[in-house]
Structures are given as C-alpha cells and as structure tokens.
Amino acid sequence: MTIRHTILVVDDEPHIRRLMAAALTRAGYAVVDAADARAALEALRAHRPDIALLDLGLPDRDGLELVPLFKQHADTTLIVVSARDATEEKVAALDLGADDYLTKPFDTDELLARVRVALRNRMTRGGGASALVAGDLRVDLLAHTVTRAGQEIHLTPKEYTVLAQLARFPGRVITHRQIMAQVWPDVAEHHVEYLRVLVRSLRQKLEEDPQRPRLICNEPGIGYRLRLSPEAEAG
C-alpha cells in the first residue's frame, strides 16, 4: 500500500490555494486547505499533516503568531510561503521555528522541490539512517536508545527529548525557544534556566568531561548544537 503524505495549505487567496493544491495533488500528495488561522489550527489538529505551507498574511491573525503554535506539533514540517520578502520577516519566521521560507510569487516546480527536500529531511530524521555516532556514543533516534561502548545510558524523557532535537539537526544551532517549546510548551521562554539545568544533567551522563563539553555545545544567548566532530568546544 502506498502511503500518501498529507500537505496542509494555508492561504487566504482562493486562487493560490487552488494553484498549490493542483500541483501537490498531481505530484501524488493528499491536500488539506485552510483560508484563515482558525481553520488552519483545526486542520493541524485533525489531520496531523506531514508538511504545512503557511501564508503570513491571514485575515484573522498574523501568520507569524502561528509559527510557534504549529511547531508545537513536532511531526509537522513548516514551510512559510509569503509575499513578505524583507530579510527581517524571514529571520523572524525562521527564529520562531519555521523550517523553510519561500517567497511569492513562486514557481510550482520550486514549491514541489522544497516539499521533496522537507520530506527527505523528515525521513532522515525518523527513518533508517537515524543513528548518529560521536566517538563511542551512539544515539539511535529510531530505537530511542543512547549507548556508550554498547552500554545503554538511561535518560529521563525530558533529557531524551532535548538530545533527540539536537540529534535531528547535528551541527545546527537549535534555539532555546525551539527546545523549550517541545519540552515545556506551557513555560515562558525566559525560564531558560530550566533548560540549562537539564543540559547540565545531560552532559554529566554523556560527556567524558562535563566541564569541557565536546558533544553538546553552547551558543551563548541563542541555544545549543550537537557537535559530532572530535574537536573540543567549550560550552
């Protein structure tokens, strides 16, 4: 049986929704659409789409406000598709957690290419090539296990959630906001000390020298990244 990926199209312009829906349907995807923020959030909960294509200029709510709400659904990849082409708008959307940003007017071939890339990234994060190795440490995202030299390391659910987020994007900085939205969705971002305590505990379990971390590296004032190279980096 062929599994069809579901794409949520959120745009207040009917002709844009029709254009994207037609291109996506021809490419073999199942399409759900929404014309405003309220309908988009309902569709997100009801259909749990693989990918959401989100316009920012919605009639009932600014699309930027929806980005962190969408990202609370960790299984949905979010691509902003908007006529707003200012750098600060793109940075704001990406900082809030969007996975990609496509500017209108767009070519449907490019839209489909962005969707294919997003789906490949999802499969890499959750499919067969999901084990990451750093020295004798192995993080298997498929099996939800962490081992060192073949011995399993016990992590709490919150510790594993943080590590898995970093492991899905090795080498990429994951912001405090993005991590906390997954671990403590109801806690304000300024309580970043919760995250620092959790990372300190993770380092105690994973690092050879927790005082000089080589695996979970700190980007001051921004977030953390998982470093898979053998070079040491203070955090």
State whether 21 and 122 are in the same domain.
yes
Number of domains in the chain: 2
Helix boundaries (H) for the chain: 14-26, 37-47, 63-71, 87-95, 108-126, 157-168, 176-183, 192-206
d(CA 95, CA 30): 29
- Kindly report the pTM of this predicted structure: 0.56
More confident of the two residues 30 and 184: 30
What per-residue confidence (pLDDT) applies to 85?
Answer: 86
What CATH number did the domain enclosing 194 receive?
1.10.10.10
What per-residue confidence (pLDDT) applies to 141?
Answer: 74
Q: What is the mean pLDDT of residues 183-190?
A: 72
**Any idea what DSSP says for residue 73?**
S
What per-residue confidence (pLDDT) applies to 201?
Answer: 95
Cα torsion 162, 167, 171, 172 to 10°: value is -60
State whether 120 and 183 are in the same domain.
no
State whether 165 and 190 are in the same domain.
yes
What CATH number did the domain enclosing 25 receive?
3.40.50.2300
CB count, 10 Å around CB of 29?
Answer: 19
What per-residue confidence (pLDDT) applies to 108?
Answer: 93
In which domain, by residue range, is 97 found? 6-126
Cα torsion 216, 194, 139, 177 to 10°: value is -80
d(CA 37, CA 10): 8
Q: Is residue 235 part of a domain?
A: no
State whether 204 and 217 are in the same domain.
yes
State whether 101 and 177 are in the same domain.
no
d(CA 212, CA 216): 10
What per-residue confidence (pLDDT) applies to 129?
Answer: 41
pLDDT digits (tens, 9 = 90+) for 98-142: 888 999 999 999 999 989 878 776 655 544 346 677 778 888 876
149 phi/psi in degrees, rounded to 5: 50, 40
State whether 171 and 75 are in the same domain.
no
State whether 104 and 203 are in the same domain.
no
State whether 10 and 110 are in the same domain.
yes
d(CA 158, CA 174): 16
190 phi/psi in degrees, rounded to 5: -70, -10
Q: Is residue 233 part of a domain?
A: no
**Any idea what DSSP says for residue 5?**
P
Q: Is residue 232 part of a domain?
A: no
Alpha-carbon Rg for the chain, nearest whole angstrom, is: 19
State whether 46 and 62 are in the same domain.
yes
